[in-house]
Structure 1
Amino acid sequence: MTASANRVRLDGSGRPDGPGLDARLVVRRPRFDLDLVLTAAPGEVVALLGPNGAGKSTALRALAGLTTLADGHVRVDGRDLTNLPPDERGVGMVFQEYLLFPHLSALENVAFGPRAQGTGRREARRRAAEWLEHVGLAEHASARPRALSGGQAQRVALARALAVRPGLLLLDEPLSALDAHTRLEVRAALRRHLAGFAGAAVMVTHDPLDALTLADRLVVIEGGRLVQEGVPSEVARRPRTPYVARLVGLNLFRGRADGGTVALADGNLKIDAVTSLEGDVFLAFEPSAVALYRSRPDGSPRNLWKARVAAVESRGDRFRIRLDGTGPDASGPDGPRVSADVTAAAVADLGLAEGSPVWASVKATEVRVYPA
C-alpha cells in the first residue's frame, strides 16, 4: 500500500485532503519523558513501534487528548487540537479491547459517534448502516456485542471510528486480541479500509507483520525518543537498534569498517564483507546465512568463529539456534552472539543442544554493511 493524497473519502463528504497530522508530543512523568515529533500525510498509515515502555501508547493517548501535553502541539488538517478535549477533536480511535457499548446494537454503536457530533438520529443511523455494509456486517446491525465474534466486534469498532469522518484515525493494537485465523481475515479487511481512508492514520502495534503489511511508514521509538523511521522495506533491511533487528529477524552489530573488513565493537572478531565503506558502520545478516559445523571446516573460511549453543527454538519446519561466543582460545577467535536458522536434519546431524560447541561462519556476500 502506498500513501496517496488523492484517495477518495469513503464517507462521500467531498472534503478536500488537508496537510494531515503535524504533532510534537511532549509528556513528562516522574520516571519517563516522551518527546516525539510525529507527522502523517493525508492517506498515509504510520505504525508506531517500540519495546514495552517506549512511549507508544502514551503518544497515541496524547494525540487523542486522553493524556495532557507538557509541551508541543497537535494539528490535523491545519486545525489546532492541542487544547481541545477528546470529544471535540474529531479523531477516530480503535481500541485493543474494542470498547463497544454492551447495551447497544452494532448499528447504534456505530451511530453513537455521529450522534455525539450533533447529527440527527435518522441520519446517524443511515450513516452507521452504510459503514456496517462497508465492513461486511450489514446483516449483524441488530446484534449486540456479546453476540459478535472478536473479528466482527473489531470491524464494528473500526466502523464506529470512521463514521465520525475523522481527519485522524488512531489504532491501538487493533489485531492483538484476535486468534491467529481471525487475525488474518481482519488484517486483510483492515488493509482494504485503510487503503480507502483519505485521512492520516497512526497505528500502535507489537506485531512486525501488522506493521510491514499495513503501514506506509514505520516510526520506532525507544525510551520516549525516535530511534529510526522510514518505509517498511528500508527499516527491515537496515535496522539501527537491537530492538529493530530482533523485530525483523536479523543479526545486527556495530563496528568499524576498514578495507572491506569490519571490526566488531563488542568483540575481537573481524568480519569480511563486500563494502567500500570506511569508519563506523552497522553490519547485518540473516540467521539463514549462518552456517554451523561440528568441527572446524576444511578450507578455513574467513568469517569463522567458535561458539556455544545457548538455546534451540522450534519455528515450524526450521529451528532457531541462539549462539554465544566461547571466548578467545587457541583454536578460534572470540565469537559474537548470533542466531542461526537450520533444518531439523541439521539439528540431529550436528547434535545441537544447549551447551554444544560448534563452529559458525557467514559468507562475506551475505553481509550488509551501511553507515552508522
Structure 2
Amino acid sequence: MTLRARLVVERAAFTLDIEVAAERGEVVALLGPNGAGKTTALRALAGLTPMTGGHITLDGSTVHALPADRRPIGMVFQDYLLFPHLSALDNVAFGPRCQGLSKAEARAIAAGLLERVGLAEHAAVRPRRLSGGQAQRVALARALAVRPRLLLLDEPLAALDAHTRLEIRSRLRRHLTDFDGATVLVTHDPLDAMVLADRLIVIERGAVVQQGAPAEVARRPRTDYVARLVGLNLYRGVADGARVRVGELLFSTAEQLAGPAFVAFPPAAVALYRSRPDGSPRNLWQGRIEGIERHGDNVRVHLDGLVAAFADITPAAVAELDLSPGQQVWASVKATETHAYPA
C-alpha cells in the first residue's frame, strides 16, 4: 500500500476515527453526508488539521509528524486557491521553486504539466481570465508539480457548472489514471465517485460505515444514506429462507438467507394501485402518499405506512391513478426484484 493511515481528530462535539488505505495508482473516494468528517480527514492527511491520534505512512515512511510543506502530498482545494497575481505557468512552477529548483527548471516542469492537461497555450494567462474548468486543470497541474506520492482532491468538480462538469470529469479520470501515486478524493456527488474512484469509503458521524468497489456498494448499501445515494429503498430485518421480516411486513426475496439481513429494491420496481389488486401478489402493503415530485423523466411518490418507500412511476400513471398527497394506496414489489443480503 502506498498509503496507510488511521486518522483520529477529536473535537468538543465530534470525533473522527477512520482508517484509510490506498495502493499505487488507486483512486479512493471518501463519501458521506455534510458534517460526516470527509474534509477533516483530507486536511488531516495533508497536515492542515492536527490529529489527536493515529498515524500516516506513505511508501513505508511515517509522515504524520512532518509539517504540511514537507509531506510528499499534492492537494487540489475545492476553490482551487490559485495565486491571482501569478500566471498559470508560475502557479504550477510555485511548488518546484519551493523545493529548491531554479526558476528555469521549475518553469520547464510547469510547462510540461500544462501541456499534459491541455493548457499549454494558457501558460501566460492569470487565474481571473481562466474558465472554471481551466482553473481546475491548473490547480491539478500545480498539485502534480511537486511529484507527490499522494494526491488529495477536495470536491474538485463542485465549482463547475453541469455542462463543464461532464467534460472535466472525463478529463480528470484520464489524468488520475496516468498518476502513479495514490489518490484520495472527497465528494458529495455519487456520480463523481462512481466515475472517478476505484474504491469508496463511506463515512457517517466520523466513522466508516461501508467500503468497497463502487458497483458493490451500489448493489448492497448498508445505511439509509448510502441507499439514498444510489437510489434504492433499504430495510433491515430478519431472514428465514426466501423471506425477510421487516417489522410487520414479510418480504419475499430472490435470495435464501438466515438471520439479520438487508432488503433492497429500486423505486422503479414499486407498483402502485388505488385499490387492493386482484389475486395475492407478494410483497403487498398499504401506504399513504406523503409527497409527489418530479424525478428525471418520471415522478417520485413518497409513501408512508408499514414501511416507508419511494416509488418511481410515469406522469401518465399519476394522471391515470389520480394520485395526490394524503391518499391511501397499495404498493407491491415482485420477489424477483427484491434482493436480500446479510446485515
Sort the TM-score into its range (normalised by shorter chain).
over 0.9
Show the counterpart of 1:194. 176
Instruction: Report 1:16-35 matches (<5 A).
Output: 19-35=1-17
Aligned with residue 150 of structure 1, among 124, 129, 132: 132
Q: Normalization by structure 1: what TM-score?
A: 0.91
**Offset of 1:299 from its aligned partner?**
1.2
**TM-score w.r.t. length of structure 2:** 0.99
Residue 336 of structure 2 corresponds to residue 365 of structure 1: yes
What's the offset of the Cα at 1:275? Answer: 2.1
Describe the superposition over 1:193-237 as per-residue Cα deviations: whole angstroms up to 9, x where unpaired: 001111000000000000001000000111111110000000000
SS at match of 2:256: coil
Q: Measure how far apart 1:274 and its partner are.
A: 2.3
Counterpart residue number, 1:15: none
Percent identity, aligned pairs only, is 67
Aligned to 1:291: 271
Distance in 1 (CA, whole Å) between partners of 2:5 and 2:295 is 40
Structure 1 position 43 matched with structure 2 position 25: yes
Corresponding position: 1:112 with 2:94: yes
Cα distance, 1:259 vs structure 2: 2.9
Residue 262 of structure 1 is aligned with which of 241, 244, 251?
244
User: Structure 1: which amino acid aligns with 2:190?
Assistant: P
Instruction: Verify: 1:166 aligned to 2:148, yes or no.
Output: yes
Q: Which residue of 1 aligns with 2:258?
A: 278
Computed over aligned residues only, the root mean square deviation of the Cα atoms, in angstroms, reads: 0.8
Partner of 2:193: 211
2:318 counterpart residue number: 347
Residue 171 (structure 1) shift: 0.2
- 2:205 is the counterpart of 1:234: no
Q: Deviation digits for residues 277-329 of structure 1, max 9, x if unmatched?
A: 1111000001111001111111131211111111112122111111111xxxx
Q: Does the Cα contact within 8 Å between 2:190 and 2:229 map onto a contact in 1?
A: yes
Q: Is the 8 A contact 2:74 2:148 kept in 1?
A: yes
What residue number does 2:60 align with? Answer: 78
How many residues end up aligned between the 2 structures?
Answer: 343
1:315 aligns with 2:262: no
Query: Matches of 1:117 and 1:342 in 2, distance apart?
Result: 58
Answer yes or no: is the 8 Å Cα contact 2:239–2:261 preserved in 1: yes
Partner of residue 103 from structure 2, selected from 113, 116, 121: 121
SS in 2 for 1:35: strand
2:304 paired residue among 313, 324, 327: 324
Q: Which residue of 1 aligns with 2:284?
A: 304
The one-letter amino acid of 2:269's match is: A
Contact 2:243–2:256, Cα closer than 8 Å, also in 1:
no
Separation in structure 1 between the aligned mates of residue 297 and residue 208 of structure 2, nearest angstrom: 36
| Aligned residue number for residue 232 of structure 2 | 250
Q: Mind listing any 5+ residue stretches in structure 2 that lack a counterpart?
A: none
1:313 aligned counterpart, secondary structure: strand
- Cα deviation for residue 162 of structure 1 reads 0.7
Structure 1: runs of 5 or more not aligned = 1-18, 326-334
